[in-house]
Amino acid sequence: MGIPTEPIGSIPRPTALLAAMADHAAGRIADDELAAWQAEAVADTIARLEALGSPVVVDGEQAKPSFATYPLSGLAGLAPDGVVIPFADGHTRRLPRLTAGPFRYAVHAVTYLNAARRHTRLPVKQAVIAPSALSLLYPAEPLDGYPRKAFLDDLTAEAEADIRDCLAAGAHAVQVDFTEGRLALKLDPSGGVLDDFLALNTQVLERFDADDRARIGVHTCPGGDHDSTHSADVDYAGLLPKLLALPVGNFYVQLASEPDPGRVLGIIAEHLRPGVRVFVGVTDPIDPVVETAEQVRDRVLAAARHIPVDQLGTCDDCGFSPFADDVSTSRETAFAKIEARVRGTALAAQVLGV
């Protein structure tokens, strides 16, 4: 049987693509030439994952502006002064602000999935952004002629289509990125914002049947960027019991960078439902030191003391360049960590006899 192992998403782009992106921004190359460089980077990313023995591949988000903002590429009706996301080292990221409706995705994730599947016969996993993250686009003051309820109705329809199109196109799994879950508790320790986020995500996920939900998962982490996080100081105990109630078949949980992984595993075990699989993070994208296969093996074995092996999988804690930071972690380091995850998971499976 083995133990399933999957990447989370982003991988730093190669230098040739970064140069092409700079040339495109400066007007030196056209859209089609940039697209060719992006396609080459996707092909290289998938080929390298295959060479490492990854049983499931991703496109590494080589063509995405970021994991969170791909639906907004080229979208009108946005201003740059939206919600600020603060990180522990003092830097920030900022979402745009919606200025007019109706809200529609400019790009759907199936575009990236179809491009990736042209380069491989292996299962391809596709990440999508959670509707809760995009709900932050709506301003504090109601928009004339476009109330918040109308926006949320449009958003849930678009989020459903984003997932459904990927499932229909043959995605091995669809991963809903929900990094704002832990951040919600930092912004509102009462839990009200988190409850609103979970209710919105549940509204979308409940539109799928049991077979579809078995291929849908939710990813949580403390939001890595520039070797910093936005919510690692928030106790997982406030998030995980509610998170694990979401109606999906898979959860991807950052764990390698947690100071007390055993405690987190205990919380997961207490709230784990039958038939649900938890992919635990066994590599830390922020740590520059590459884990050994033996370290990964031991992390998997520690998880297996809490989670039944038939409900256990492994992943990286997070993407390696989630906000399109392609320099804090090198491309080579990312692939080395992925190799350690794949090899270490296989070693653990041997020890466990699965």
Q: What are the Cα distances from residue 180, in Å, to 26, 99, 104, 223, 341? A: 33, 22, 21, 8, 25
The first and second tokens of residue 313, run together, are 């999988």
Contacts of residue 27, defined as CB under 8 A and 6 or more positions apart, other chains included, come to: none
- Looking at residue 74, its pLDDT comes to 86
Answer for the pair 88, 38: CB distance below 8 angstroms, yes or no. Answer: no
- Looking at residue 145, its pLDDT comes to 95
Residue type (1 letter), 291: E
**Mean local confidence (pLDDT), 262-276:** 97
- Residue 1, pLDDT > 80, answer no
**Mean local confidence (pLDDT), 166-189:** 96
- Looking at residue 243, its pLDDT comes to 98
Separation of alpha carbons 135 and 156, rounded Å: 9
The first and second tokens of residue 221, run together, are 């982490």
**Mean local confidence (pLDDT), 41-60:** 98
**Mean local confidence (pLDDT), 265-275:** 97
Least confident piece of the model among 10-14, 306-310, 323-327 = 323-327
Confidence of residue 324 (pLDDT cuts 50, 70, 90): confident
**Mean local confidence (pLDDT), 202-231:** 96
- Looking at residue 242, its pLDDT comes to 98
The answer, as to whether pTM is greater than 0.95, is yes
177-187 pLDDT, tens digit per residue, is 999 999 999 99
Contacts of residue 68, defined as CB under 8 A and 6 or more positions apart, other chains included, come to: 95, 129, 133, 134, 177, 322, 323
In the chain, the N- to C-terminal Cα span, in Å, equals: 5
User: Scanning the structure block, which residue is given the tokens 């997070």?
Assistant: 318
Separation of alpha carbons 219 and 110, rounded Å: 18
**Mean local confidence (pLDDT), 255-267:** 97
Separation of alpha carbons 44 and 38, rounded Å: 10
Pairing of strands 277-283, 250-253: parallel
Which residues face 127 on adjacent strands?
175
14-38 pLDDT, tens digit per residue, is 999 999 999 999 999 999 999 999 9
- Residue 89, pLDDT > 80, answer yes
Q: Based on the number of CB atoms within 10 Å of its own CB, is 114 exposed (0-12), middle (13-18) or buried (19 or more)?
A: middle
Contacts of residue 97, defined as CB under 8 A and 6 or more positions apart, other chains included, come to: 78, 79, 80, 81, 82, 83, 137, 139
- Among left, alpha and beta (phi > 0; psi -120 to 50; other), residue 223 is left
Answer for the pair 304, 351: CB distance below 8 angstroms, yes or no. Answer: no
Domain spanning 5-352, CATH architecture: Alpha-Beta Barrel (3.20)
Answer for the pair 208, 173: CB distance below 8 angstroms, yes or no. Answer: no
Which residues face 314 on adjacent strands?
5, 280
